[in-house]
Amino acid sequence: HLHPSDIQQMERGSVVRRSDCRAKGGAPGFKVAILGAAGGIGQSLSLLLKMNPLVSVLHLYDVVNAPGVTADISHMDTAAVVRGFLGQPQLDSALTGMDLVIIPAGVPRKPGMSRDDLFNINAGIVKTLCEGITRCCPHAVVNLISNPVNSTIPIAAEVFKKAGTFDPKMLLGVTKLDVVRANTFVAEVLGIDPREVEVPVVGGHAGVTILPLLSQVKPPCSFTSEEINYLTDRIQNGGTEVVEAKAGAGSATLSMVGPTAFQNICFFPHIGQAFAAAKFADACLRGLRGDAGIVECAFVASQVTELPFFASKVRLGRGGAEEILPLGLLNEYERAGLEKAKKELSESIKKGVTFITK
Ligand code: NAD
Ligand code: LMR
């Protein structure tokens, strides 16, 4: 029988239960922390990860409203044990022992802003959170969502290097939303089901650094030059399209929706939709479990170009991004786009590195 103090602890979400280490059905379960869990992305991501059978423990950290979100999510009758952590004094407890840390903490854009305009606030937030990772779970896979991703990934890498814990394979900038958008817009043009479409998107996660490789779309297809211009522009500016439509109420949260991978393992297959971030996290967890052939686009430390970081297809495994796949053949339009992307990316990367090394 439970002692009353156990019940009080359970109500606070702090009892370690048997399901902490094993997910339902005896399959390996992973411990996942979401930093920024009470935000627009954080809340929906928390909901989706609570439904993911690969997750046995879910830690929800934020500087506001973490207890409320935790109480709400923890009532869902799925296996993952949910615990909430509020404010910096609880950061280390939130991170200790985690296998995967997902970071959507920070401010979103308002109309008229670029992602780089978020640097002044978000750079410091990412630095502090990554310092916590070096102390408490230096071997965790990190999915970094906070913008500007082109600079926050170099910031995270420098924090990890300074602490001597940097493993380039374990740090991934989430660019999955660009792929989700590209699949949707290409499917609209082709008049087919977006679930059938795979568009590689490489480079980075801002404006011209977002480079869809329309010559490599699966299933194989061809586009007119008008279609190529329209699709490239729409994919590169998808984030701004949402920021303007939300008119000051934030940036993309719900639009990061798509079916496929998450659907196959979801407790509730009829829901069949997941945030790009949840799909990406799920791919990382399946990689950690040892599944073969998990390939996603992500912004990672890379030797695919002369830049130290670049988004491209990566193969996910037990060691994170275990293999960075080559870009493949680019056409003339894409080669020109690549040069533009590299120019802007180079500046964004330098800005991130200097923030830590200055
Ligand atoms: P939001 O404002 O709704 O939520 C952000 C959350 O972060 C808030 O709950 C806030 O309290 C929390 N936060 C702030 N400082 C924190 C700190 N020091 N520690 C922990 N939590 C902290 O914003 P959102 O719409 O969820 O977007 C979050 C970030 O993700 C933004 O920077 C946005 O630009 C970025 N974003 C990236 C992508 C991508 O594809 N990579 C897509 C959409 C949004
Ligand atoms: C997006 O692509 O939607 C995000 O990076 C948010 C933004 O500011 O556009």
> Which pLDDT score is estimated for 258?
33
The answer to whether the CB of 323 falls within 8 A of the CB of 305 is no
> Which pLDDT score is estimated for 49?
92
CA of 154 to the centre of ligand 2 (A): 18
228 labeled part of a ligand binding site:
no
The answer to whether the CB of 58 falls within 8 A of the CB of 50 is yes
CA of 348 to the centre of ligand 1 (A): 19
Residue nearest to atom 2 of ligand 2 (CA): 239
Assess whether 139 carries a catalytic annotation. no
Amino acid at position 170, single letter? M
CA of 237 to the centre of ligand 1 (A): 19
Residues 6+ apart with CB under 8 A from 30: 23, 54, 55, 56, 57, 99, 100, 285, 288, 289
The two tokens of residue 283 are 């791919």
The two tokens of residue 266 are 């979801």
> Which pLDDT score is estimated for 251?
93
Choice among 1, 59, 139, 205 that is catalytic: 205
> Which pLDDT score is estimated for 254?
74
- pTM value is 0.92
> Which pLDDT score is estimated for 126?
98
Question: Which of 109, 121, 236, 255 to mutate to test ligand 2, by most ligand atoms within 8 A of the CB atom?
Answer: 109
> Which pLDDT score is estimated for 278?
87
Nearest Cα to 177, choosing from 39, 295, 280, 266?
A: 280
- Please report the ipTM that was assigned to this predicted complex: 0.99
Residue nearest to atom 3 of ligand 2 (CA): 239
> Which pLDDT score is estimated for 257?
29
274 labeled part of a ligand binding site:
no
Please indicate whether residue 286, judged by its CB atom, sits closer than 6 Å to ligand 2. no
41 labeled part of a ligand binding site:
yes
Question: Which of 179, 243, 257 to mutate to test ligand 2, by most ligand atoms within 8 A of the CB atom?
Answer: 243
Provide the residue-wise pLDDT of the chain in tens; the chain has 358 residues: 455 555 555 555 544 444 444 444 555 699 999 999 999 999 999 999 999 999 999 999 999 999 999 999 999 999 999 999 999 999 999 999 999 999 999 999 999 999 999 999 999 999 999 999 999 999 999 999 999 999 999 999 999 999 999 999 999 999 999 999 999 999 999 999 998 999 999 999 999 999 999 999 999 999 999 999 999 999 999 999 999 999 999 999 875 423 333 433 333 333 333 458 888 999 999 999 999 999 999 999 999 999 999 999 999 999 999 999 999 999 999 999 999 999 999 999 999 999 999 9
Please indicate whether residue 68, judged by its CB atom, sits closer than 6 Å to ligand 1. no
Please indicate whether residue 147, judged by its CB atom, sits closer than 6 Å to ligand 2. yes
Nearest Cα to 251, choosing from 156, 145, 172, 126?
A: 145
